[in-house]
Structure 1
Amino acid sequence: MSEFGVAGSDVEDGAPAMKLSRINASSQTTSAAAYRYVMFGFIFLMYMISYADRAALSIALPALGQEFGLGSVQLGWISSSFLWSYFILNLPSSILLDTIGPRLTGVIAVALWSSAMVYGGTVSTIRQFIASRVFLGIGEAPTFGVGSSVVRAWALPKERGSVLTTLLTGQQIGLALGTLAGAFLIVRFGWRFEFAALGAIGLLWAALWWFFYKDSPYKPVAEKKGPITRAQFFSLFRSRSFYAVVITQCLGNYFNFLVMSWLPVYFIHKFHQNVFQSGAKSAVCYVSASFGAILLGRFLETSVLRRRTEIHARRIIVCTCMVLSASVGLLPFMTSMSLTLVVMGVCLAGMIAGSGANTALLADLLDDGSKIGTVTGLTLTFSNLSGLFAPIVTGYIVAGTGSFDIAWFGCSGALVIAGLTSLFMVSGPIRTLFNKA
């Protein structure tokens, strides 16, 4: 029985025993409701550490390029290197997650990528550094599968969107802290120390996760643990709604990885900022976007889901957020840093809220929640393939045109398509349980 399960009673008299059982049940339910915030807090920190480690490279790119003699094209390839393994292992690691559970998967994943960070700070050749990024991608592959599994197990259906959006802001807080702290550490101690320090934080999280993790008492009885079957896997590709979720995630993720890889360099390039200034401005964007995403996601979830009760109603939220983030196409026309920060903050807020709503939409539509880890992993496999090209393509654009303008215009059009895809293609549940079809 779960630690939060209803305790038995040794009282022989029926009525007192029943009363005591109800008291115990109420007490255990209250305990479970409170403990879920501990679980959400760990997932928030995991996302934050993950993206802080990714931001460590973006702010270190100028120093790395100078030390190893690299240009923008080469730096673009290096920025995408962790995605090579991350993309390939999203699905296999998520299948493993559904088999061995979030506790062990989380420990292995975070410990591995954090060790890769520490190793990255000790390398002597660019090939060794790329190898460290590949190992970082291996570790980070099941990250969002772990998060989706915990949210599916612990969050109430009506709050999944706002919970996921709030947790996804951990990405932006991580990017903010990673760029700001990274810039400080690079200026004071060098980029190698930056990598080692951030890696040590992840190792601490892994130890605490093993100690504090608990299974949720809220899992429906009908959902059984175990790997997804071949028939269930291929049934996903017969669902129009699944394709819509994947396409939306792919287009949103392209913008996400472009910003994550190049934003500090963009500020240096366009506004002639130094490393610390560009890190601070990037942090402002990420933090403001985090608060904006929480407010936007909560407002839309409350206003839309109060009036719409169909299972795919959340697609309206996804569309609204993605179209809002398409305002990134205005960046080429911004001539001041202040306006640029406002536009980027709004775009990132829309992207975060839209991604959170899209992930919650997937959980809403999936008929067998026990397979949420695998289905999330499959979705991320496609979306990270899209994200893999973002830093590379942007590197070539900057090298060929001398500016980021074409990159921002392309993202704007893609985000509009993402919103419309969700609005018009999502049409019903994603079925894997054939006996319920």
Structure 2
Amino acid sequence: MTTGEITTKAKVRRAIPARHVFFFLVFLMYAISYGDRAALSIALPTMGREFSLTPVQMGWVSSSFLWSYFLLNLPSTIVLDMVGARVIGSLAVGIWSFAMLLGGMAQNITQFLLTRMLLGVGEAPTFGVGATVVRNWALPQERGSVMTILLTGMQLGLAGGTIAGAYLITFFGWRCEFMALGGIGIAWAAVWWLVYRNPKEKSDAPRRKPISLREIRNLFRSSSFLGILVVQCTQNYLNFLVMSWMPLYLIHELHIDTTGTGNSTALCYLSAAVGAVIIGRVLEQLVFRNGIHPPYRRFVVATCLTGAATIGLLPQFHTMLPILLVLSGALACLMAANGANTALLTDMVEDGGKMGAVTGVTLTCSNALGLLSPILTGYIVAWTGSFDMAWYMCAIALIIAAMLSLSMVRNPIRMDGRDG
């Protein structure tokens, strides 16, 4: 064995632990992000009383961070492709964590809404950062599993944020909850800046150009991209509905207090995280047992969406155990579908150098629908006195999205206007 071969193998051995550290930090980033989002959902009953909010107003407050988040998804991820995940990751988490600190100091609902909009500014490139890291550091055959595991950080964040928030609110008030979570995020931003490194580019590689308007238009001419986008929009709607309204839904149905709601919500999220990893891994092994063929991942997506559609069974139950079982199972399938669909996007896009911007386009569209979810649900609850119609609508939409994914996602996504 030559000296060069020994050096190369030594570099590989060092690179493998490094990428695992990067994945772990992305996992924590998702956990912190969704812990911050859960902070509002568990605090909303207390805040609603303090600020005298109606169900409709609560819906608008829940969606407030999405206003800036939606507008900046694409611009922030275009900058991400140009600058890299190290700078954008640290800056994004630092901004939204500072917004959490300010939220804990807000003295009226107007001030609080402004801090939520700042939080949306920081969170805008979050999933672009994650998708870029996976595209750069994960092997093609493991992207689905890696992405699903990373996305379970969302469930861990929702669980941890909900249960920790419930106890912090009970003993110290909701302001303490916001400030504690903000401090955790600032610490993560510092660690990411010190640890993460963007992949080295060849010296003769051309300088990366931002995605053009023509390339964005061409994305929408790809049936594969549209099929992935429909799934992203549908799962995002249900995700934001559950994230914003689950604690209030459990209080409404089960008549339990804040800590009881926090414990039940956390149990759902933790069960869903474990279930999502198992479901995603098993389905990926079955679909790819005869070799890697990226478009086949749509079968994983469609199967998981069908499982998530069991959310439509919730109106049939009014006691704790069946409600928690249905919620946990549906959320596990939804998370597995999200992981598989995100991996499908990273697989199908030919120009990996623009993965962040493509993710930004996807998130801009899906968050336009996600933005409506807490608001529309607030109106449904105000008009009907229950959540039943909201669950039925989601179940139907998930089944339709599964069928569209199966029929549309087949060819590589090319930004030159050709579909496969």
TM-score (norm 1): 0.93
Distance 2:400 2:308 in 1: 11
Query: Which amino acid is the alignment partner of residue 69 of structure 2?
Result: Y
The answer to whether the aligner puts 1:110 opposite 2:107 as a matched pair is no
The answer to whether the aligner puts 1:336 opposite 2:292 as a matched pair is no
Distance 2:399 2:418 in 1: 37
Question: How far off is 1:308 after superposition?
Answer: 5.9
The answer to whether the aligner puts 1:139 opposite 2:119 as a matched pair is no
Question: 1:21/1:64 Cα in 2 relative to 1: closer, same or farther (>3 Å)?
Answer: same
In the alignment, which residue of structure 2 is the partner of 1:10?
Answer: none
Q: Which shows bigger deviation, 276-285 or 335-344?
A: 335-344
Distance 1:56 1:305 in 2: 39
Question: How far off is 1:217 after superposition?
Answer: 5.7
Question: How far off is 1:416 after superposition?
Answer: 0.7
Conserved in 1, the CA contact under 8 Å of 2:307 and 2:330?
yes
The answer to whether the aligner puts 1:270 opposite 2:253 as a matched pair is yes
Question: How far off is 1:222 after superposition?
Answer: 7.7
The answer to whether the aligner puts 1:364 opposite 2:342 as a matched pair is no
Cα deviations across residues 13-43 of structure 1 (Å, max 9, x unaligned)? Answer: xxxxx71110110010111112111000000
In the alignment, which residue of structure 2 is the partner of 1:238?
Answer: 221
Q: Which shows bigger deviation, 171-180 or 302-311?
A: 302-311
Size of the alignment, in residue pairs? Answer: 420
Distance 2:291 2:336 in 1: 19
In the alignment, which residue of structure 2 is the partner of 1:404?
Answer: 387
Conserved in 2, the CA contact under 8 Å of 1:241 and 1:425?
yes
Question: How far off is 1:309 after superposition?
Answer: 4.0
Question: 1:304/1:86 Cα in 2 relative to 1: closer, same or farther (>3 Å)?
Answer: same
Conserved in 2, the CA contact under 8 Å of 1:95 and 1:374?
yes
Conserved in 2, the CA contact under 8 Å of 1:224 and 1:370?
no
In the alignment, which residue of structure 2 is the partner of 1:226?
Answer: 209
The answer to whether the aligner puts 1:327 opposite 2:310 as a matched pair is yes
SS in 1 for 2:288: helix
SS in 2 for 1:79: helix
Distance 2:282 2:172 in 1: 43
Distance 2:216 2:383 in 1: 42
Distance 1:165 1:403 in 2: 32
Question: 1:309/1:155 Cα in 2 relative to 1: closer, same or farther (>3 Å)?
Answer: closer
Of 353, 374, 377 in structure 2, the residue corresponding to residue 391 of structure 1 is: 374
In the alignment, which residue of structure 2 is the partner of 1:208?
Answer: 191
Question: 1:200/1:378 Cα in 2 relative to 1: closer, same or farther (>3 Å)?
Answer: same
Question: 1:339/1:432 Cα in 2 relative to 1: closer, same or farther (>3 Å)?
Answer: same
In the alignment, which residue of structure 1 is the partner of 2:113?
Answer: 130
Unmatched tracts of structure 1, length 5 or more: 1-17
Distance 2:205 2:311 in 1: 44
Conserved in 2, the CA contact under 8 Å of 1:368 and 1:433?
no
Query: Which amino acid is the alignment partner of residue 318 of structure 2?
Result: T
Question: 1:187/1:307 Cα in 2 relative to 1: closer, same or farther (>3 Å)?
Answer: same
Percent of residue pairs bearing the same amino acid type: 53
Query: Which amino acid is the alignment partner of residue 383 of structure 2?
Result: G
Distance 2:417 2:404 in 1: 26
Distance 1:53 1:224 in 2: 36
In the alignment, which residue of structure 2 is the partner of 1:199?
Answer: 182
Question: How far off is 1:290 after superposition?
Answer: 0.2
Of 11, 18, 21 in structure 2, the residue corresponding to residue 38 of structure 1 is: 21
Cα deviations across residues 126-167 of structure 1 (Å, max 9, x unaligned)? Answer: 100000000000000000000000000000001000100000
In the alignment, which residue of structure 2 is the partner of 1:177?
Answer: 160
Cα deviations across residues 203-258 of structure 1 (Å, max 9, x unaligned)? Answer: 00000000001123699x98963311333222212111111111110011000000
Question: How far off is 1:305 after superposition?
Answer: 1.2
In the alignment, which residue of structure 2 is the partner of 1:284?
Answer: 267
Cα RMSD after superposing both structures: 1.8
Distance 1:203 1:188 in 2: 24
Conserved in 1, the CA contact under 8 Å of 2:95 and 2:118?
yes
Conserved in 1, the CA contact under 8 Å of 2:147 and 2:340?
yes
Cα deviations across residues 349-385 of structure 1 (Å, max 9, x unaligned)? Answer: 1100001100111111100111100000100001111
Conserved in 2, the CA contact under 8 Å of 1:367 and 1:433?
no
Cα deviations across residues 94-126 of structure 1 (Å, max 9, x unaligned)? Answer: 001001110110111000000000000101111
Unmatched tracts of structure 2, length 5 or more: none
Distance 2:370 2:168 in 1: 28
| Greater radius of gyration (CA) | 1
In the alignment, which residue of structure 1 is the partner of 2:414?
Answer: 431
Of 312, 319, 332 in structure 2, the residue corresponding to residue 349 of structure 1 is: 332
Distance 1:69 1:229 in 2: 46
Conserved in 1, the CA contact under 8 Å of 2:304 and 2:337?
yes
Cα deviations across residues 305-362 of structure 1 (Å, max 9, x unaligned)? Answer: 1236433110000000001000001000013211111111110011000011001111
